[in-house]
Structures are given as C-alpha cells and as structure tokens.
Amino acid sequence: MIKLKYDKQGLIPAIVQDYKTGKVLMLAYMNEAALKKTLKTGKMHFFSRSRKKIWLKGETSGHHQKVREVFFDCDADTLLFKVEQKGGACHMGYRSCFYRKLTGGGRSSRIVAKKIFDPKKIYRKNR
Amino acid sequence: MIKLKYDKQGLIPAIVQDYKTGKVLMLAYMNEAALKKTLKTGKMHFFSRSRKKIWLKGETSGHHQKVREVFFDCDADTLLFKVEQKGGACHMGYRSCFYRKLTGGGRSSRIVAKKIFDPKKIYRKNR
C-alpha cells in the first residue's frame, strides 16, 4: 500500500464524486482497513467516527458506490474517489449530501436539490 | 452565521471545486474566522494546521480562488466551495492537488496531470 498520512485517530478524509457528472456527493472518513476493503471489493467502505466501526456505504439502503478511480492529493492526506452512485448518497434522501447552499453571506441557507427517495421508507427496517 | 459543526480543534474541512469544470481542486480546513473572512472578501481563506494561522489562498502565488457558491452537507460538518481558480490550486504546480492516481490496487501511483506552472519560480521569493 502506498504511504498516506492518516490523522491522530488513524483517519483520512475521502471525498466522493460522481464520475460521470462531477457532482460532489459526500465526504466521509476511512482508516487503513476501510481503504483496503474499498480497494479489494470495489465498493466504498468508511470508518464511522460515532459507531467506531467500518461500514459499507449502502449496507442498509442498497445505495452502494462502485469505485471507478482513486486519487490522492499532494500532501497525501486526502483521498478523492470517483464512483458510480446507486440511488442517493445522502441519508436525507438527496443525491448529494451537499443539498443546501449558504445564502445571505452565511446567515441563512436554502435547499437547492430535490429528494430522490424517501429516507423513512429506505431506512425504516433498521432504525 | 448558520450553525456548523467544527471539530475539537475548531476546524471544518472545505472541499474546493472548479465551478466550471467540476474538477475537485483541493481540500483544506477552515476555522470560523477563516470562513467569515472568505464570505466577506469572496476569496478563499483557510486555517493552516501547521502554521496555526489563517492564510489567503494565493497570497504568495497570486493563485486566488474566487468564491462562486457555497454548500454544506447534511451533518453540517463539511463545506463545499465552487470557485473560479486563478492559475493552479496546487503548490506543486498542478491545476488540482489530486494529480496522482492510485494504481495496482493501492500498491502504486501514477501522475495523471501536467504541470501548469513552475513552483520554483512562483514560490521562490518567499521560501
């Protein structure tokens, strides 16, 4: 494995981008094991900082992310994944987690995307 | 200012994307003061974790980033800026910091971009 810089918690941020549209879908964190699992399976795995465990993106929703290309930055402390996103990346029902725009110089915000699924239906079973 | 979730060091990651091409240019960190300065001036400012101070992107190189749109994610713990990039985002001379691609299942890497400026010339005066 090439040498990457993980933080004190052993994590590295991973930006996930739709390989076709260029839309930035989400940012989450990986430890080295999550990265290895991602590279081995071709499906995005992250490390949950709250649950302290590796999770497969889409394990509940079925909204997997298939890896197409992986890049890393000049400081080797950030990863960029280009993926095929099945369904929506966001647990709130949106294609991208970045569905809100800052307005009014940062004093307010506005939803700028449409929901593509109903999170209550998708996540009902396990929550 | 709308409520964002900063980490224990008071920082939030900021993804910077070219507003025209969709290319992800870099990831850096902001504290609240850097965000306010960015929103006020319309030019990207970050907080340097090594130098422990706010810096203006382009202050040495002239390669400023003009803010076009700002988004934040579902957890309000990541920012996404769409910008007009003057010159290159990367201090290594590339348009984007993500100029290397992981190959061989993570065992190797390859440079997949061309330098657009000579960093030795650009940064000579101040380094």
Within a domain: A97 = yes
CATH of the domain at B30: 3.10.20.810
Within a domain: A116 = yes
Task: Suggest the residue from A6, A74, A92, A116 to mutate for an interface test with chain B (most B CBs closer than 10 A).
Answer: A74
Within a domain: B21 = yes
Scanning every residue of chain A, which has its alpha carbon at the shortest distance from the alpha carbon of B7?
Answer: A49
Specify the number of domains making up chain B: 1
β partners of residue B71 = A101, B80
Query: Phi/psi at A91 (nearest 5 deg)?
Result: -70, -5
Residues of A in contact with B23 (CB under 8 A): 22
- Give B8-37 pLDDT, tens digit per residue: 999 999 999 999 999 999 999 999 999 999
Within a domain: A2 = no
Within a domain: B7 = no
Asked if the ipTM is above 0.90, the reply is yes
Within a domain: A6 = no
Tokens of B5: 């979730």
Of B35, B40, B92, the CB nearest to A74: B92
Q: Which residue range(s) make up the domain with B20?
A: 12-126
Within a domain: B4 = no
Within a domain: A25 = yes
Contact A114, A84 (CB under 8 A): no
Give pLDDT tens digits along chain A (127 positions). Answer: 899 999 999 999 999 999 999 999 999 999 999 999 999 999 999 999 999 999 999 999 999 999 999 999 999 999 999 999 999 999 999 999 999 999 999 999 999 999 999 999 988 755 4
Nearest-Å Rg of the Cα atoms of chain B is 15
CA of A62 vs chain B CAs: smallest distance (Å): 19
